[in-house]
Amino acid sequence: LSLELVREDPRIMLCYAWDGQPLRQKHGFPLRVYIPNLYGMKQPKWITRITAVEDWEPGYWVVRGWSATAEVRTTSVIDTIAIDSVYEADGQQYVPMGGIAYSGARGISKVEVRVDDGEWQEARLRTPLSETTWVIWRYDWPFEEGRHTFTVRTFEADGTPQIADINPRRPDGATGLHSVETRV
């Protein structure tokens, strides 16, 4: 962990408790580091001493081919298409669907859903619990019977879109738009 990074982000902290409870062994007791926007492999646990060094050396995961920076990738997921919760409003039937969007501490400005090859439609967002938690989204889709592909994408607070190209989770974190195909 570089001193420069610690100075840039006041949210970085050494933790001896989590959610008001003493840190448990499986979560990093006696001390762990919390760094917003980085994957867990860059969040050291079970710290018993801290040593300042002049030169950076790649850590355990980096020498095994994982990302040197490990910045959280923006992602969105369809968690449910509530076919059993169809409701009617103004003569139209709707299927509620929802999921989460996450971009570390960069925030989410909007989530959009596309059905088949249609236009992107903006979903409603719940207020997140904090600037570093995921956002829960909901979209009420005007029901059309048949087999459909539902796709979700999100945008960071500054408008940066989620990376659409599909990449595996290793070494830099997964990217790509989440799609679900189902019959309704």
Residues of the chain with pLDDT under 70: none
What's the confidence (pLDDT) of residue 84? 92
What's the confidence (pLDDT) of residue 94? 97
Closest by CA to 30, choosing from 16, 49, 9, is 16
Q: What angle is formed at CA 102 by the lines to CA 97 and CA 107, rounded to 5 degrees?
A: 115
SS3 category, 27 = helix
Residue 4 host element (H or E):
helix 3-8
What's the confidence (pLDDT) of residue 167? 82
Its pTM stands at: 0.84
Q: Is the torsion defined by CA of 121, 104, 70, 45 positive or negative?
A: negative
What's the confidence (pLDDT) of residue 56? 81
Tracing tokens 């959280």 back to the chain, one arrives at: 72
Structural domains of the chain, with CATH: 3-64 (no CATH), 75-183 (2.60.40.650)
